[in-house]
């Protein structure tokens, strides 16, 4: 015989609870929201501005290491931080639901530009590792010199600036 302690046992979730949860989840976050073209353009511009800033910061870190003003670990930490910024910028663009063809084209251009900067920063980390005593070969995508690396970063930043101008940024 079971003894009752005065506490009620929780009732099983009924069909009404399931229906309410389905409605709530279906209207919050599970369905893409509609943005106006201006909002989408601003989101692309924001992501590109972040990517440009990350690329410029990487450029400064590489230059400082090349001049002997910072150590390899410091430069690598800066570059790793910039990869996180670039990941956030890419995430902002990949989760954007463009409301029209023009916004979609801007997003695609933005994704390409962010990808170019990301590739350049990844190459910069490889260069820093090699300069710090790592055993990476030039045929593995490691720039031969700081000048080569800075040139690649400049090209990527030019693409970012062009995409930002197209998206109506500064």
What digits encode the pLDDT tens for the residues 43-83? 999 999 999 999 999 999 999 999 999 999 999 999 999 99
Which of 92, 160, 91, 70 is CA-nearest to residue 120? Answer: 160
Contacts of residue 125, defined as CB under 8 A and 6 or more positions apart, other chains included, come to 76, 79, 80, 83
Per-domain boundaries in the chain: 34-166
Q: Are 55 and 116 in contact (CB under 8 A)?
A: no
Average pLDDT over residues 122-141: 78
Q: Answer yes or no: is pLDDT of 132 > 50.
A: yes
Higher confidence at residue 1 or residue 148? 148
């Amino acid at each position: 015989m079971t003894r009752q302690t005065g506490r009620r046992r929780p009732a099983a979730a009924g069909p009404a609870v399931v229906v309410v949860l389905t409605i709530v989840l279906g209207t919050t976050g599970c369905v893409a929201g509609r943005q106006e073209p201006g909002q989408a353009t601003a989101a692309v511009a924001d992501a590109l501005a972040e990517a440009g800033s990350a690329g410029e910061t990487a450029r400064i870190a590489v230059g400082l290491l090349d001049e002997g003003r910072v150590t390899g670990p410091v430069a690598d930490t800066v570059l790793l931080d910039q990869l996180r910024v670039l990941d956030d910028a890419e995430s902002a663009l990949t989760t954007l639901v463009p409301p029209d063809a023009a916004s979609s084209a801007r997003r695609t251009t933005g994704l390409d530009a962010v990808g170019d900067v990301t590739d350049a920063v990844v190459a910069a980390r490889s260069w820093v590792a090699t300069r710090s005593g790592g055993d990476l070969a030039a045929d593995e995508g490691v720039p031969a010199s700081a000048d080569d690396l800075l040139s690649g970063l400049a090209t990527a930043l030019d693409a970012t600036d062009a995409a930002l101008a197209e998206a109506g940024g500064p």
